[in-house]
Amino acid sequence: MMGEVRTPDRPTSRTTMRRAIGRAIVSMAGVGAVLLAWEASVSLWSIPLYVLPAPTVIALQIERDWALLARHLQPTLFEAIGGFVIGNLIATGLAATFVYAPPLSRMLYPVAIGLRTIPLVAITPLLVVWLGNGYAPKIAIAALISFFPTLVNMSRGFASPSADQLELMHALAASQWQVFRLVRWPASLPYLFASLKIAATSSVLGAIVAEWIGSDRGLGYLIVAATFEYRVARLWATIAVSTALALAAFLTVVAFERLAIPWRSEDHE
């Protein structure tokens, strides 16, 4: 008598949550260990403040400067979000166009690669001259740095469906839009979120770097000001807030990924 064929059980929601909490605890423990080692090293070797302040000193400086940091956080957040949205929308649209127009891909892809090789510190002054000294050049830099990873990944994602899948849709007399909506777009989602994780942190970096030149607001401006004024604790406090902003952007994308493609999250548990 043949045995019953059973498929492996998928993780339950409770199991998934338990594993997620476990990973979070491990990550927090790792960060805590690094901070403790940092604090102990500064105290043990009497490292001067101007060389490396202790984490407790940085935390106290964040508390002391919180109103200032929050005021400069807002423009950086606006620029990063604006650049993230614009860069990823353009990249996704262009990648979709490349799938249906290969000659256009061969013509424009080298241009995109060339743009990616230009250092941010070199192109930022040009954008300030062209776009003025407001939000526009900062958003443009954040968009530019978000654009390339999404273009590369989404070009691969839209081209990832197998020939069998496409032939089946052709046999069903599906339109190009139906093929895109039912096959190419779902297949591209893992590629999309992989690129969005990179773009989320890169857009914050791009906005901060853009604020180094000709700006009077933002975390990048505050970093430059603290450097020139030799306020080491404030400099590190601003760096810590910038890091927290980039981490929050990354975790936001991860949360949306779990909502959009939960089966992939379960497969990686």
Tokens of 173: 């007399």
Count how many Cα atoms sit within 13 Å of the Cα of residue 261 in the half-sphere of its side chain. 17
pLDDT at residue 202 in the model: 94
Tokens of 132: 């003025």
**Alpha carbons 160 and 129: distance in angstroms, whole number:** 41
- One-letter amino acid for residue 43 of the chain: S
Element (H, E) at 170: helix 163-171
Residue 48 CB: number of other CB atoms within 10 A?
10
Q: Name the CATH superfamily housing domain 66-267.
A: MetI-like (1.10.3720.10)
pTM: 0.85
Q: Residues with Cβ < 8 Å from 1, sequence gap 6 or more? A: none
pLDDT at residue 15 in the model: 67
Radius of gyration of the chain (CA): 23
Q: Residues with Cβ < 8 Å from 11, sequence gap 6 or more? A: 19, 266, 269
pLDDT at residue 268 in the model: 52
pLDDT at residue 20 in the model: 64
pLDDT at residue 5 in the model: 43
Mean pLDDT in order along the chain per 10 residues (269 residues): 47 64 77 85 85 91 95 96 96 92 85 80 84 90 93 92 88 87 93 95 94 88 93 95 96 91 62
- One-letter amino acid for residue 135 of the chain: Y
Task: Give residue limits of the domains in the chain.
Answer: 66-267
Which of 98, 204, 95 is closest to 153 using CA atoms?
95
**pLDDT per residue as tens digits for the range 125-173:** 888 888 888 899 999 999 999 999 999 999 999 999 988 888 888 888 8
Nearest 5°: CA angle at 252, between 222 and 150? Answer: 90
